Structure 1
Amino acid sequence: MVLNGIKAVFFDLDNTLIDTSGASKKAIEEVVKLLINKSKFNEEEAHIICKDFQANLLHEAFDPTKLTIDDLRVLHFERAMQEIRSGDYKCLAKECYQLWKTKRLQLMTLSETTKNMLCELRKSTCLVLLTNGNRQVQREKIEACGANPFFDAIVVGGEHAEEKPAPSIFLHCCDLVAVKPEDCVMVGDNLDTDIQGGLNAGLKATIWLNKNTHVTSNPSPTPHYTIQSVTHLPDVLKNLQ
């Protein structure tokens, strides 16, 4: 495959290479069933607890010297339960979290078409996995989906001083595979981190994965290209000027 001078392609992980949202949704459904079958919470309360848990995932701040990410997320469940009804829910909260985490990781897979695409691309260019998030959480996802063999470098934002969209982490990726920013492309589903970050770092192009066909008009920031499936990427790269 001729890639017109592209020396590296940076890929986001969540909802780009793996369906994190879908895996999380299915895992939550299992937790709802557990709460209904093994506790005094009814269906409505179980959904409220899980909704609160998911909301807390979006605003996590903690001191890793005092608390692990696993402990924190058990607390999310425990506090959500206590909002419904007072009581000691430590064991139930831990069971819910372990079920959610285990099921979610089991569902995080690279499709065969995605694997084949990565293998073909890697014959012509360097591939870098660049993902934001807590070190432990992201490394567990990477291990679960078996991404390691497909990439020349893997960078987890939580292991660095800055995450996407900061230019520094993109430049770090460039250094790892010995390329210049203007010879690289960023592929991701998040406009604020993946696309803005690629623009901030001066990459050759940014490619937005937009699976929601209802959200296509005037995205901001503006990506150079938009695709509806990550497997459409090779066609864009072959025609990229």
Structure 2
Amino acid sequence: MANSGYFDENSDVSAILFDLDNTLIQTRKGDTKACNKLVELLQNEYGLPKDMAVESGSTFLRAFRARPDDESYALHEWPAHLWRNCLPKNYKHIAKSVSTEWLRLRFRYLALTNDVIHLLETLREDYLLGLITNGPSRAQWQKIERLGLRKYFDCVLVSGDLPWEKPDQHIFHEACKLLNVEPRNCIMVGDKLETDIKGGKEAELAATVWIPLQKDEEISDLPDITIDNVTELPEVLPNSPKLKRSTNMSDDC
């Protein structure tokens, strides 16, 4: 449930910075769903015993989360390499087809929900929107492009392209610079206390909004506002006049 009342009537918030994974898209849940479907596929289509299929899927998911990209491989070849390492010896030849199905299912489950699309489209009528995401450049841009996210944002920053990552205040200030706004006019929305919230506080943004990944996660006093889901964000935003998108924004956005 959203907690409101942080902003007063004189608040002048003109830009909202969003985290990507587990904030706008449910990366952990989506990847788990995709992997569970693949476990079924391994059993029903390829004949793996259930215990082998489950072990292969679990091992792959752990490896992929630990290292979502390796630039010594082509981007589409990296998950195939991981599957090849995770499948039993007699099934390694199916790694490429399994990896193709993994990517299809993954982006199906990571797609923005209609509620989040409506949220972003509505917010863009009154606010500048920025996206700041940590992670390897190719892997993060693959998600951004495959999910069609660019059109919702005035500025997109991927830490893999930059000398800093969240919680370094420089990445937040870079977003503000590209949007041509002051940090005091921005809020940061994200799921991680140690990156999104801590970084937003150290960058002296107007406020930080935390979305705990787990419903039973211990509430922290670090964020200014806590909500259960990103779609609750309008409930806590100030009602002050907003800054419309301007031709003065940096072309680098």
**Normalized against structure 1, the TM-score is what?**
0.86
Q: Can you list the C-alpha shifts for 1:13-49, whole angstroms capped at 9, x where unaligned?
A: 1121122223212211221122213445311111111
Amino acid at match of 1:86: K
Check if 1:213 corresponds to 2:219.
no
Given candidates 12, 15, 32, the residue that maps to 1:8 is 15
Aligned to 1:67: 73
- Structure 1 Cα separation of the partners of residues 234 and 134 of structure 2: 24
Change in Cα spacing, 1:130 to 1:149, as seen in structure 2 (3 Å) is: same
Q: Can you list the C-alpha shifts for 1:36-73, whole angstroms capped at 9, x where unaligned?
A: 13445311111111111111123228762x32343232
Q: Can you list the C-alpha shifts for 1:139-172, whole angstroms capped at 9, x where unaligned?
A: 2222333222221111122222222122221111
- Structure 1 Cα separation of the partners of residues 15 and 105 of structure 2: 33
Shift of 1:187: 0.2
Identity among equivalent positions (%) equals 33
Aligned to 2:4: none
Aligned to 1:160: 162
Partners of 2:68 and 2:139 within 8 A in 1:
no
Check if 1:235 corresponds to 2:238.
no
SS at match of 1:96: helix
SS at match of 1:176: helix
**Normalized against structure 2, the TM-score is what?**
0.82
Shift of 1:6: 0.8
Partners of 1:108 and 1:144 within 8 A in 2:
no
Partners of 1:3 and 1:124 within 8 A in 2:
no
Aligned to 1:116: 118
Change in Cα spacing, 1:112 to 1:39, as seen in structure 2 (3 Å) is: closer
Given candidates 132, 138, 154, the residue that maps to 2:140 is 138
Partners of 2:69 and 2:139 within 8 A in 1:
no
Change in Cα spacing, 1:96 to 1:3, as seen in structure 2 (3 Å) is: farther
- For structure 1, list consecutive stretches of 5 or more residues without a partner in the other structure: none
Check if 1:53 corresponds to 2:60.
yes
Given candidates 179, 182, 188, the residue that maps to 2:181 is 179
User: In angstroms, what is the RMSD of aligned CA positions?
Assistant: 2.3
- Structure 1 Cα separation of the partners of residues 75 and 227 of structure 2: 34
Shift of 1:97: 1.4
> Which structure: greater helix fraction?
1
Change in Cα spacing, 1:39 to 1:204, as seen in structure 2 (3 Å) is: same
Partners of 1:12 and 1:189 within 8 A in 2:
yes
SS at match of 2:238: helix
Change in Cα spacing, 1:189 to 1:62, as seen in structure 2 (3 Å) is: closer
Aligned to 2:194: 192
- Structure 2 Cα separation of the partners of residues 216 and 63 of structure 1: 34
Shift of 1:119: 2.4
Shift of 1:88: 6.6
